[in-house]
Amino acid sequence: MASDTLLVSGGRVLRPDSDVVEADVLVDREDGRIVEIGPDLATDRDADETLDASGGIVMPGLVNAHTHAAMTLLRGYADDKPLDAWLREDIWPAEAELTAEDVRAGTELGLVEMIRSGTTTFADMYFHVPEVVAAVDEAGMRARVGHGVVTVGKDEEAARADVRESLDVAREYDGAADGRIRTAVMPHSLTTVDEPLLREAVAEAHADGIPVHTHANETRDEVEPIVAERSERPLAYADDVGLLSEADFLAHGVHVDETEIDLLAEREAAVVHCPASNMKLASGIAPVQDLLDAGVTVALGTDGAASNNDLDLFDELRDAAMLGKLGADDASAVPAEAAVTMATRGGAEALSLPGGRVEVGAAADLAVVDFDAPHLAPAHDPVSHLAYAVRGSDVRHTICDGQVLMRDREILTLDEDEVVETARRRAVDLVARAE
Ligand SMILES: CSC[C@H]1O[C@@H](n2cnc3c(O)ncnc32)[C@H](O)[C@@H]1O
Ligand SMILES: [Zn+2]
């Protein structure tokens, strides 16, 4: 019997095979793992802490496998443009004014939003990584973080320094926050990092067992120049520079052809589908069902809050299922169960992090979703509701690594009012400096 326990009682548990069964979940808070799942554990255990899940679904904490959390500060700052114009005309000039304190404030706002909507784990590509690490540590979440590298437009010395920073922070912070933080080297994309430095960064990362995360095949404007210049598809180039290894994960993968899908499956690199960002920037529709059929690990990401415009992964779940059908011209494509799996187990596997399943021995990363709201009545099929009807605001409790981060919709690890107020103030100042 574990010595320090948390009991999640009275709910229905979403099992890894997508069955939903009435059961309590007993967690060892010391090692952060699930120790028992079964009916009526409440009657024969005195747990140190209990969470009431009655009427709700106990599911794996959601995994937001691609975001830039601090971009909450730029939410609504620039809309209705395609990726390239949006980045060059609005986002990059504003980001040039970001301070470390801004990144801390924007990240904390992002974490509050994610915890509120049941996300326990995320991948973050941004600047000022020590601030991101400190925020994740305080919030109690799990993350794979990294410094995003852009070398185009920089002189040799500045470009090298950017690569060095990505490698240095990846080495320094791997295992931080009692192991809840892991890292990756994060070249921004195949077109914004020059080939020699991209090769160096990937080789050094892999030599140290560090995965690589990048944006890839997001827009036609990004794919066409690579094909024109190199006479090969972008992912053939990515493979050639070595960044399709098993632990690597690519954001977007919208414009991938059959050869690239086969390559991803063969190399076992994962794709993070970001449907809301792809729709808002009119980047295109990723062939998600084709990727799944080929055996590629597919996860879900919100991307940053400036292209989404929120960090609620339940929105992504629904968007992925809906857009997957539209893209395949087939209403049976990306069914509810597949969407829920992408948002949970697919994310954990893509990021090579614990979690993603409610089973004995797994990490106690959980979301408890209330099924009381009118938009969830009746509940013929809970998995259908998780994909098509649940909203982030239906999440009642969020638990990561055995620690309760949100209890009865109250965030316990961060001061939500202060986080929101600080982010509001810093966002106003940031935008004033950028204009
Ligand atoms: C170098 S840190 C990360 C970098 O990525 C930018 N970004 C945000 N959303 C997207 C997207 O959809 N595609 C490519 N790049 C994106 C972000 O603003 C940072 O500059
Ligand atoms: Zn992105």
Is 424 within the bounds of a domain? no
Average pLDDT over residues 292-317: 98
Which amino acid belongs to residue 291? L
Task: Report whether 96 contacts 434 (CB < 8 A).
Answer: yes
- Ligand 1 atom nearest residue 307's Cα: 9
Task: Tell me: do 50 and 85 sit in the same domain.
Answer: no
Average pLDDT over residues 157-184: 98
Is 284 within the bounds of a domain? yes
Q: Kindly give the interhelix angle for 100-116 and 416-434, rounded to the nearest 10 degrees.
A: 130
Task: Tell me: do 38 and 128 sit in the same domain.
Answer: no
* Ligand that lies nearest to the alpha carbon of residue 281, given by its number in the listed order: 1
The pair of structure tokens assigned to 93 is 């000039």
Is 417 within the bounds of a domain? no
Residue that terminates a domain, selected from 351, 371, 395: 351
> Is the C-beta atom of 114 inside 6 A of ligand 1?
no
Task: Report whether 60 contacts 355 (CB < 8 A).
Answer: yes
255 annotated as belonging to a binding site for a ligand: no
Task: Tell me: do 242 and 94 sit in the same domain.
Answer: yes
Task: Tell me: do 272 and 366 sit in the same domain.
Answer: no
71, 87, 95: residue to mutate for ligand 1 pocket, most atoms within 8 A of CB: 87
Report the CATH number at residue 49: 2.30.40.10
> Is the C-beta atom of 77 inside 6 A of ligand 1?
no
Is 425 within the bounds of a domain? no
Q: Do β-strands 12-14 and 56-60 pair in parallel, antiparallel, or remain unpaired? A: parallel
Task: Tell me: do 289 and 341 sit in the same domain.
Answer: yes
> Is the C-beta atom of 413 inside 6 A of ligand 1?
no
Task: Tell me: do 110 and 245 sit in the same domain.
Answer: yes
Task: Tell me: do 164 and 154 sit in the same domain.
Answer: yes
Query: What separation in Å is there between the alpha carbon of 191 and the centre of ligand 2?
Result: 14
Q: What is the pLDDT of residues 171-227, one digit of tens each?
A: 999 999 999 999 999 999 999 999 999 999 999 999 999 999 999 999 999 999 999
> Is the C-beta atom of 68 inside 6 A of ligand 1?
yes
Count structural domains, the chain: 2
**β-bridge partners, 33:** 28, 363
Is 419 within the bounds of a domain? no
Q: Where in the sequence is the domain holding 15, given as residue range(s)?
A: 5-60+362-411
* Ligand that lies nearest to the alpha carbon of residue 277, given by its number in the listed order: 1
Is 422 within the bounds of a domain? no
Q: Which residue has the tokens 């990059």?
A: 92
**What pLDDT is stored for residue 42 in this prediction?**
77
Q: What is the pLDDT of residues 268-295, one digit of tens each?
A: 999 999 999 999 999 999 999 999 999 9
**What pLDDT is stored for residue 171 in this prediction?**
98
Is residue 345's pLDDT more than 70?
A: yes
Is residue 404's pLDDT more than 90?
A: yes
Q: Which of 161, 76, 97, 165 is nearest to 129 (CA)?
A: 165
Is 433 within the bounds of a domain? no
**What pLDDT is stored for residue 1 in this prediction?**
59
Is residue 241's pLDDT more than 70?
A: yes
> Is the C-beta atom of 385 inside 6 A of ligand 1?
no
Task: Tell me: do 183 and 78 sit in the same domain.
Answer: yes
Report the CATH number at residue 342: 3.20.20.140
> Is the C-beta atom of 422 inside 6 A of ligand 1?
no
Please report, rounded to a whole number, the percentage of residues in the chain having pLDDT higher than 90. Answer: 98
Q: What is the pLDDT of residues 95-148, one digit of tens each?
A: 999 999 999 999 999 999 999 999 999 999 999 999 999 999 999 999 999 999
**What pLDDT is stored for residue 71 in this prediction?**
98
Mean pLDDT score of the chain:
97
Task: Tell me: do 136 and 42 sit in the same domain.
Answer: no
- Supply the residue whose CA is at minimum distance from atom 8 of ligand 1: 304
Q: Which pTM value belongs to this model?
A: 0.98
- Supply the residue whose CA is at minimum distance from atom 16 of ligand 1: 87
Q: What is the pLDDT of residues 18-67, one digit of tens each?
A: 999 999 999 999 999 999 999 989 776 789 999 999 999 999 999 999 99
**What pLDDT is stored for residue 44 in this prediction?**
64
> Is the C-beta atom of 187 inside 6 A of ligand 1?
no
Query: What separation in Å is there between the alpha carbon of 192 and the centre of ligand 1?
Result: 11
Task: Tell me: do 330 and 370 sit in the same domain.
Answer: no
CA atoms of 13 and 313, how far apart (whole Å): 19
**What pLDDT is stored for residue 3 in this prediction?**
79
